[in-house]
Structure 1
Amino acid sequence: MKRWLLTFIAASSALGLSTWAADLPPALETPTNDYARVSADGKVAVATVNPYASQIAMEVVARGGNALDAAIAATFALGVVDGHNSGIGGGCFILVRLADGRVLAIDGREMAPAAATRDMFVVDGKADPELSRTGALAVGIPGSVMALDKLRQLGAQLRWRDLILPSAELADKGFVVSHALAERLVATAPNLAKFPASAAIYLDDKQQPWATGSELRQADLADTYRALAKQGPGYFYQGDFARKTERWMEQNGGLITRKDFSNYQIKMRRPVVSEFAGYTLYGFPPPSSGGTHVAQILNILEAFGLEKTTSSERYHLIAEAMKFAFADRAHWLGDADFTRVPKGLTDKNYARSIAQKITLEKTTADISYGNPEVDIQHLMNKHTTHIAAADLQGNWVAITSTVNTSFGSKVVIPGTGVVLNNQMDDFSAQVGAANAFGLVGSDANAIAAKKRPLSSMSPTLVFKGEQPVMTLGAAGGPTIISQVVQTLLYRLQYDMPLAEAMAQPRIHQQWNPNLLFVEAAMPAPIQQSLQQKGHQLKVWPRMGASQAIELKDGKLIPVAEPRVIEQNSGR
């Protein structure tokens, strides 16, 4: 880390939040090892996908904030420096264990506008994917702002404005474009160029994407953050932001109105609770598929004597369990306020019935959904972001936040700096039609007014007895589920250190397409063995981005995704 940054961190801890950002250089050089942080007294930890966000979280902690404050502040910061993945124009799921022992699931998922219809993306009898991915019709009503405010009300120590203003200052002063952000800008530049307000931020005066090392400043986003800090969520849902969005939608063929914003509500859900390897897992319920299918996959694997399997057999079993789970996901899962999701999906007896169909010798043919009483580039890119935070008072937070695919709908509402999501693509535009991640669905996930689309986001809390011992989650579309499963499997079943568990070569199998994605780091003999069992392999450089914190021997240990750190270092 640069010496000036160490000096800055030490000095700024003594400053008020209203002044600390004034000491920033014009644009911070990106630290290389500050993705996972523990406070100086060891009482609060945070792990994010970006060192700026983790740094701001620790500044908030230095002012008396707890894990809730840290997580909220980091989420707003990620909306500045990681806006291609998340931001206030999108949604989030928050799983929190409060110091008083309550475990709550806050659903801040985007919602379809009141004028949305079942076939709104069907043209001449066929779903048009461009309509659900780019532009006005792709946008759902954002929920992140209201969800974060709810989390603050549950036990944060600082004021709403104190959690936002540091990120406003960061947006104003600017930051250095990372290698990962530069790559995403190149990939999405043609679509960003379609919207003047988006191009004005993310493309230079020659309409070229900002390169690695460039300085990116976002004055409009800074102003939006300051207005939000001063006026509260009302600014976003009933005030000027809602009015500007309605005006732009009227001019560009969109459906969203100011009334849609004012009608948005978060939902308090009941977590999915399961048992694995002597631990209790809390996952997020529908409209997330994450909690359900993380539990289902682990239940299937638990039916096998995993400790007796070889590495190739273990990967084979994980892949087969994933296939069955994702087949069930395609048929059964949707917003539980609109469709009945069978509770039996997480039942261990149902898992054992699936395990009986799996052999160690070869892949299972003709898998379909059970009866439990893609675009590859999109699939493997890191979309969404995850924030893990914990403190020794007993607050444990897992937030997965998203605008869906890179830069969401590619729309920035003029004058706001806010990227709007394209979460409408996560509905089933038509039965059997794949979304941007290659996922298909049924009428359970059909578009309907005020409905929330299905998600793979999997914020997870792990307990040993009555005590929380881990918070984790991931980014990466449907690979979120497979990442969380593999981290839990290696850490809880195989007792690997958390960092080692997260560094293991990852796989992903989502039933459709029927491919087994494997990371290039997987040893060649294991790849060959999997092919011999009938798996059709697709080798991918690196997969996903997980964040986690565990409590071990009384100490908080945060771990950030090594793949992201490696990528941003240019390796």
Structure 2
Amino acid sequence: MQFSELRNLLATAAAVVLIAHASIVDAAGRAPARGMNGIVASSSAHASEVGVQVLRDGGNAVDAAIATAFAMAVTWPTAGNIGGGGFLVYHGADGTTTTFDFREKAPLAASEDMYLDENGEIQDNINHDSILAVGVPGTVAGLELAHQRLGTKPWRDLVAPAVKLAREGIPISWQLHDSFKGRKSRWDRYPSSAKVFLKRDGSFYQPGDIWKQPDLAKTLKRIEREGADGFYKGRTATLIADHMAANGGLITLEDLAKYEAVERAPITGNYRGYEIVSMPPPSSGGVTMVEMLNILEGFDLAGMGHNSAQYLHILTEAMRRAYADRANYLGDPDFNEDMPIERLTSKEHAADLRGSISLTSASASDPALFAQAYESNETTHFSVVDKDGNMVSLTYTLEWGYGSHIVVEGAGFLLNNEMGDFNAQPGITDERGRIGTAANRIRPEKRMLSSMTPTIVAKDGVPLFATGSPGGKTIINTSMQTVLNVIDHGMNIAEAIEAPRIHHQWLPDMTVFERSGISPDTRKLYESFGHTIREVRGIGSAMGVYRDPETGILYGGADSRAEDGGAVAY
């Protein structure tokens, strides 16, 4: 046997062993992973292992989250990133709560009508599919801020594992193989991307091949040595700015130098005696979830039965009303000082909305009012709990799968296409789901509205479980249904994550069902209320951790909808 053949055989074997191991620890199905000292549940079993190793080495939940996030920038390129942004929610065992906002910002040269032609129409989808769609990345700044506030391990120790993964390579899974192959036309469009995602001869990486990312390793090494300055200044910043200038982009060295992550007070609520701690604007997730839970608290959901037609009808009507408020009122708090957050999350507002719900018929969604902005499904979420019971819920994204599909020449990482989350056509709202309300219009240095909903649920001031999901516009509803499954239906964290889900977002006026999730009889009865259904293969991909307050046993669930996911416990 030739050496090259032996190397390939060993690589394939390593991939098989990894996948087999992940299936043991990832709680695919309905049995949660269990441990006493820590759990990381993410869409990448590789990254979960990195996070758990940090816990083994004495790090806390924030340390593990930082290491996991950097590892996912290597192992989960569809959404793990240093070229995007997101949100982190923290709840300490001592009752401390806080959040970190590292959502991307519009470049200084951005303008309200930058994507419109002379007829006021968006030109060739350039707000999603061009270098003009790239917002100023926030991930590295956000992770550094969280580390400065709450981390305990040296920064270098948290970034070093990602450097090693990028330099030495990871075995290509079937999921990565299929995903890379499905985007061949994108890689061909951008030579800097083709160098990363295709072999030198232009062929695809095969399952078991070792995929190395040397330019990304160098970028991560600069971040390891210099912190956020290794990204927003110096060599990496110059590579970003030069790539932008050479290809018609807007981001400059000034944009990068001015970017700052922000620590914000969380959105909080109370549902049946449980405390809800979630992300504030520019995430719409926390406000919208608390509003929906407040509406639903007035119904006997457990008595209706999980996913009965009556139950799904009530959920739909709560979703419809909260998503309408989301579209009308929420945006970047630094540009919208008059957002009525207190009213939207109040029990009184929920009671008013609850009173407008019929138990027997669907409401109408009026496009003359407001609708829901488009967001991609390709976000990623992970949850962490450490031995002391501290919890982190973190969601971050590039927007589309692989973001803009543009890799920075010489830097090895993908850029986001988050500018598409702004309302690109001011004043235009229709039944297709376009919205033009003022709160989320483009402004220089403004953060675009998001549906990301990292959430932690506590009882008597002690964190109980953390959850969240990718899924763009479906994220809030996925996270909310996971919460309901635990509190109202008594499911363990893995059962709560695996259970079939639905989604309604005000406009377009239809309910999305998972294809094999709801019985035909239930569907028929649900439709008799006046609802319209569209089927999809899956909704979201939740990741959660749970701590039993009596025994201290930790449980983790990684959604089987994420093929390479894993909940790793020790």
| TM-score, normalised with respect to structure 1 | 0.89
Q: CA contact under 8 A between 1:324 and 1:369: conserved in structure 2?
A: no
Are 1:248 and 2:243 counterparts? yes
- Residue 58 of structure 2: aligned partner: 64
Instruction: Tell me how far 1:26 sits from its aligned partner.
Output: 10
Q: CA contact under 8 A between 2:285 and 2:450: conserved in structure 1?
A: yes
Aligned identity (percent) is 35
- Residue 102 of structure 1: aligned partner: 96
Q: How does 1:369-388 map to 2 (within 5 A)?
A: 381=377, 383-388=378-383
- Residue type of the partner of 2:192? A
Q: Deviations over 1:199-253 (max 9, x none)?
A: 1111344545545544422111111111211122111111111111111111111
Distance 1:67 1:413 in 2: 31
Q: CA contact under 8 A between 2:193 and 2:407: conserved in structure 1?
A: yes
Are 1:526 and 2:533 counterparts? no
Q: Deviations over 1:427-454 (max 9, x none)?
A: 001136689x956351110000000000
Distance 2:352 2:316 in 1: 17
- Residue 193 of structure 2: aligned partner: 198
Q: 1:211 to 1:508 in 2, by over 3 A?
A: farther
- Residue 284 of structure 2: aligned partner: 289
Q: Give the match's secondary structure for 1:46.
A: strand
Instruction: Tell me how far 1:298 sits from its aligned partner.
Output: 1.1
Instruction: Tell me how far 1:186 sits from its aligned partner.
Output: 3.8
Are 1:465 and 2:454 counterparts? no
Pick one of 233, 245, 255 that aligns with 1:238.
233
Distance 1:147 1:139 in 2: 18
Q: Give the match's secondary structure for 2:468.
A: strand
Q: How does 1:273-422 map to 2 (within 5 A)?
A: 273-310=268-305, 311-339=308-336, 340-343=338-341, 344-367=343-366, 381=377, 383-422=378-417
Q: CA contact under 8 A between 1:330 and 1:441: conserved in structure 2?
A: no
Q: 1:65 to 1:476 in 2, by over 3 A?
A: same
Distance 2:518 2:427 in 1: 32
Q: CA contact under 8 A between 1:176 and 1:213: conserved in structure 2?
A: yes
More displaced 10-residue stretch of structure 1: 482-491 or 339-348: 339-348
Q: CA contact under 8 A between 2:373 and 2:421: conserved in structure 1?
A: no
Q: 1:28 to 1:464 in 2, by over 3 A?
A: same
Q: CA contact under 8 A between 2:458 and 2:464: conserved in structure 1?
A: yes
Q: Give the match's secondary structure for 1:388.
A: strand
Q: CA contact under 8 A between 1:459 and 1:474: conserved in structure 2?
A: yes
Are 1:564 and 2:551 counterparts? no
Q: 1:40 to 1:302 in 2, by over 3 A?
A: closer
Q: 1:326 to 1:431 in 2, by over 3 A?
A: farther
- Residue 142 of structure 1: aligned partner: 137
- Residue 494 of structure 2: aligned partner: 499
Distance 2:275 2:60 in 1: 24
Q: CA contact under 8 A between 1:189 and 1:208: conserved in structure 2?
A: no
Distance 1:190 1:312 in 2: 43
Q: CA contact under 8 A between 1:177 and 1:216: conserved in structure 2?
A: yes
Pick one of 46, 53, 60 that aligns with 1:52.
46
Distance 2:214 2:531 in 1: 50
Q: 1:346 to 1:367 in 2, by over 3 A?
A: farther
- Residue type of the partner of 2:493? L
- Residue 267 of structure 1: aligned partner: 262
Are 1:123 and 2:122 counterparts? no
Q: 1:86 to 1:208 in 2, by over 3 A?
A: same
Distance 2:525 2:462 in 1: 40
Q: CA contact under 8 A between 2:27 and 2:33: conserved in structure 1?
A: no
| TM-score, normalised with respect to structure 2 | 0.89
- Residue type of the partner of 1:547? M
- Residue type of the partner of 1:142? P
Q: Deviations over 1:314-353 (max 9, x none)?
A: 1111111111111111211110111122121111111111
Distance 1:56 1:510 in 2: 36
Q: Give the match's secondary structure for 2:396.
A: strand
Q: 1:292 to 1:196 in 2, by over 3 A?
A: same
Q: Give the match's secondary structure for 1:331.
A: helix
More displaced 10-residue stretch of structure 1: 133-142 or 47-56: 133-142
Q: CA contact under 8 A between 1:177 and 1:213: conserved in structure 2?
A: yes
Q: CA contact under 8 A between 1:44 and 1:66: conserved in structure 2?
A: no
Q: Give the match's secondary structure for 1:70.
A: helix
- Residue type of the partner of 1:114? L
- Residue 485 of structure 2: aligned partner: 490
Instruction: Tell me how far 1:156 sits from its aligned partner.
Output: 2.2
Distance 2:181 2:464 in 1: 40
Q: CA contact under 8 A between 1:317 and 1:360: conserved in structure 2?
A: yes
Q: How does 1:150-161 map to 2 (within 5 A)?
A: 150-161=145-156
Pick one of 524, 534, 541 that aligns with 1:545.
541
Distance 1:456 1:463 in 2: 22
Distance 2:559 2:310 in 1: 26
Q: CA contact under 8 A between 2:11 and 2:209: conserved in structure 1?
A: no
Alpha-carbon RMSD across the aligned residues, in angstroms, is: 2.7
Q: Deviations over 1:369-390 (max 9, x none)?
A: 999xx999x75x4x11111111
- Residue 555 of structure 1: aligned partner: 553
Distance 1:270 1:369 in 2: 34
Distance 1:325 1:254 in 2: 36
Q: Deviations over 1:244-264 (max 9, x none)?
A: 111111111111111111101
Q: Give the match's secondary structure for 2:458.
A: strand
Distance 2:547 2:503 in 1: 28
Are 1:170 and 2:165 counterparts? yes
Q: 1:285 to 1:119 in 2, by over 3 A?
A: same
Instruction: Tell me how far 1:366 sits from its aligned partner.
Output: 3.9
Instruction: Tell me how far 1:64 sits from its aligned partner.
Output: 1.9
Q: Give the match's secondary structure for 1:393.
A: coil
Instruction: Tell me how far 1:368 sits from its aligned partner.
Output: 6.7
Q: 1:35 to 1:218 in 2, by over 3 A?
A: farther
Q: 1:166 to 1:139 in 2, by over 3 A?
A: same
Q: Give the match's secondary structure for 1:455.
A: coil
Q: Deviations over 1:395-425 (max 9, x none)?
A: 2111111111111111111111110111100
Q: 1:375 to 1:287 in 2, by over 3 A?
A: closer
Unaligned runs of 5+ in 1: 1-22
Number of paired residues? 540
Q: 1:253 to 1:549 in 2, by over 3 A?
A: same
Instruction: Tell me how far 1:367 sits from its aligned partner.
Output: 4.5
Q: CA contact under 8 A between 1:296 and 1:351: conserved in structure 2?
A: yes
Q: CA contact under 8 A between 1:306 and 1:314: conserved in structure 2?
A: yes
Distance 1:288 1:81 in 2: 26
More displaced 10-residue stretch of structure 1: 256-265 or 343-352: 343-352
- Residue 9 of structure 1: aligned partner: none
- Residue type of the partner of 1:113? P
- Residue 5 of structure 2: aligned partner: none
- Residue type of the partner of 2:522? I
